[in-house]
Amino acid sequence: MIDFKTISHKLKERREFLAYTQADVAELTGISERTIRSIEKGNGGTSILNWLKILDILGLEMKIVSKPMSDETRRSFLQ
């Protein structure tokens, strides 16, 4: 399962490192400040497109990697 709090914390750290305010990120991405705040608080429910816009502005990228799956059920071992 994705830990939005950890990812959100890293986004906020990077934003602060770059000396951007939430208003700056909102202006650069076209995403509302309210949504930026929500993302930084670790709330899920924001579209992946918004996450990708923020990652791009902050000079970050998301990688998708395969995870172990059960051979019999093709389901995650974590379920």
pLDDT in tens, the chain (79 residues): 567 888 899 999 999 999 999 999 999 999 999 999 999 998 878 888 999 999 999 999 988 888 777 666 666 655 5
Quote the pTM value: 0.77
Long-range CB contact pairs, 29-35, < 8 A, 24+: 29/53, 29/54, 29/57
- Residue 74: per-residue pLDDT: 64
Architecture, CATH, for domain 1-79: Orthogonal Bundle (1.10)
DSSP 46: S
Angle (CA) 70-71-76 rounded to 5° is 20
- Residue 58: per-residue pLDDT: 97
- Domain spans in the chain, listed from the N-terminal domain onward: 1-79
- Residue 75: per-residue pLDDT: 65
